[in-house]
Each structure stands twice: as C-alpha cells, then as structure tokens.
Chain A
Amino acid sequence: DSGVTQTPKHLITATGQRVTLRCSPRSGDLSVYWYQQSLDQGLQFLIQYYNGEERAKGNILERFSAQQFPDLHSELNLSSLELGDSALYFCASSVAAFPDTQYFGPGTRLTVL
C-alpha cells in the first residue's frame, strides 16, 4: 500500500459525459501528479500540482482539467468524453516538486462506451 488513495476504482460512462476522479496523496506530500495509461499511448504525464498551484503541464487535453484543494487532495475532471479517453488514470504524490520518488495510487479505470 503506497498511501495514495484514488476513487473510484472503476468508472463506466457514455460518450459526451463528464466525470471526476479523486486522489488523496500520502500524508505530508505536497506534490500531486496525474498520469494516463493506455495501450496506444503508454504512460503519459498529464498535470502536476504543488501545494495548490499548477506546476507543470503535459499532454493534457483542453477537455480535461484538474485542481488541488487546500487539504491537498486533487481532482481530475474529464468532460465531453470520447471513446479514446478510456484508460487507466493514475495519481502519484511526492514530498516536493523536484526529482524524487513518486508513490502511485491504484488507479481509476475509466471505460467510455
């Protein structure tokens, strides 16, 4: 158990819908990262927050947004969902926003029908 929690574990929804994925980092970690894992794209970095502020952005679609709240939990919002958004979404956390070990949550498997 990494100490990073993600909910829900599974999510099945229809095209055009909007969903919210939630992540709670390890106690004491200020940095939260979101990654997408799919068969065709592999593991891709989406976005990073550090202590409530956006720190880095990767190949995140405009339909996707995220935020980190004062209690440090983070949410990833995916809207106008398409079939191609079906993937495993991981959250990870680390103590700070410099190169260091990231601890990954178990992931949320999103299926868009």
Chain B
Amino acid sequence: AQSVAQPEDQVNVAEGNPLTVKCTYSVSGNPYLFWYVQYPNRGLQFLLKYITGDNLVKGSYGFEAEFNKSQTSFHLKKPSALVSDSALYFCAFSSNTGKLIFGQGTTLQVKP
C-alpha cells in the first residue's frame, strides 16, 4: 500500500538551531509530496510541495524540503528555528485524483 511515514512523534530543537522533520514515502509511480503545518485549533496550512523538477523545494516561512529518490525521503528543514514554528507538521502524498494521504504527524517543539 502507498504511504508516507514520519518516524518521529516529536522533535525538540532550540531557537536559532537548524531543524529537520523527517518523512519517508512508499509510493509507486511519480511521488507527489507535500508538507502541511497545523497550529493549535486551526486548519492545515500548506508549506511546500514536490511535483517534479528541482529536488530542493523552497516553501513558506523559510522552510524547505529535499526530495531524495534513492532514500525515498522528503525531509522538511529550516536553517534557524523560531519559537513560533512550534506546531504539528504533516507530510502527505497525493494520488492521481488529488486526494492526500497523510503521515501520522510530528510535533515540533522549539524552545527559547
């Protein structure tokens, strides 16, 4: 079955340090991959996507992600974390119809 996995339930990082939130995928065919963020009591906000093209994708709020076909990964990164980045992050892949299949989510905690 096609899926994405987020191996870490929680990631803790100090403000100003680089952050990485991991995602691996198991998808046949072209992987259409997305990252979304959810703040408490809010809907999901789109961060970035990989459809085709450059393996390094830049998104909103200074986030970027690297598509790695050999490692089947699509890790989310940011060079310098902010306390306001603390939230729940979801990796997802899209089927041909467009529906999203989400990973289980990773809580990012950035401490001052």
Contacts and interface: CB of A to CB of B under 8 A. Distances in A.
A90 B90 CA distance: 14
| B34, B94, B97: residue with the most chain A Cβ atoms closer than 10 Å | B97
A103 B44 CA distance: 8
Contact residues on B (Cβ < 8 Å of other chain), bracket: 20 to 34
Interface string B101-112: 110110000000
Interface string A86-113: 0000101010111111111111000000
Contacts of B95: 56, 99
A99 B96 contact: yes
A107 B45 CA distance: 12
A31 interface: yes
B11 interface: no
Nearest to A45: B99
B96 A102 contact: no
A55 B45 CA distance: 23
Interface in A65-92: 90, 92
Best-buried of A2, A99, A106 by chain B (most CB within 10 Å) = A99
Contacts of A94: 98
Nearest to B31: A99
Interface string B38-74: 0000111110010100000000000000000000000
